[in-house]
Amino acid sequence: MTTTTPAYEARAIDPAVLRRLREQDDAGFTREPFTDTEGGAPLRCCLRHSAAGEHIALVSYAPLRRWAAETGAAPGAYDECGPVFVHADACGGQTSGPGYPAAMHGARRMLRAYDARGHILGGTLVEIPVERVAEVDDALRGVFADPEVALVHVRAVEFGCFLMEVRRAADLNLT
């Protein structure tokens, strides 16, 4: 296992985007917040799972669309929209940081790589138990070793849900 600082950053949904999604999501709907009675919903606003009793919302989100607007990419049919959980109100939680956030890990994740156009290059299945979550950093380093990879989306295998975006540190001026 490698112990160097990751050359990438995991990113939650931007707070400005979250404000808009809470008013009208990317499918054009206003969603009703609810109290999470059980907890465990993967929150894309602060990269952790919800606790029982938190006020959350399930909204439609098009993650590639946001990146494409910033970069001028044209993802075409790869611009998909899907459900994500967010806090119903601003939460002030983690929005980004180097390394893979252990709080969002499950045993099976898909690291979906995109090129500069926003087209899928492929995916890497990561089957790493929660106890060894640090090994995901090595898998992400491997994906980013391909110079064609411009962006990675981390997705849950069981539901296919978008969990977070991962960008190269050089693209964020982190190096």
Q: How many domains, in total, are found in the chain?
A: 1
Q: What pLDDT score was predicted for residue 29? A: 96
Question: What is the extent of the structural domain holding 117?
Answer: 8-172
The pair of structure tokens assigned to 40 is: 């465990």
pLDDT per residue as tens digits for the range 107-143 = 799 999 999 999 999 999 999 888 888 889 999 999 9
What's the whole-model pTM score?
0.89
pLDDT per residue as tens digits for the range 95-105 = 788 888 888 88
Q: What pLDDT score was predicted for residue 170? A: 67
Closest CA to 81 of 149, 158, 21: 21
The pair of structure tokens assigned to 7 is: 């050359």
**Exposure class string for 107-132: b at 16+ Cβ within 10 A, else e:** eebbbbbbbeebbebebeebebeeee
Per DSSP, the residues of 76-135 read GGG---EEEEEESS------EEEB--GGG--SEEEEEEE-TTS-EEEEEEEE--GGGTTH
Residue 3 forms part of a structural domain: no
The pLDDT averaged over each successive group of 10 residues in the chain (175 residues) is: 68 93 96 96 94 97 93 93 95 80 88 96 92 90 95 92 88 49
Residue 2 forms part of a structural domain: no
Q: What pLDDT score was predicted for residue 27? A: 96
Residue 97 forms part of a structural domain: yes
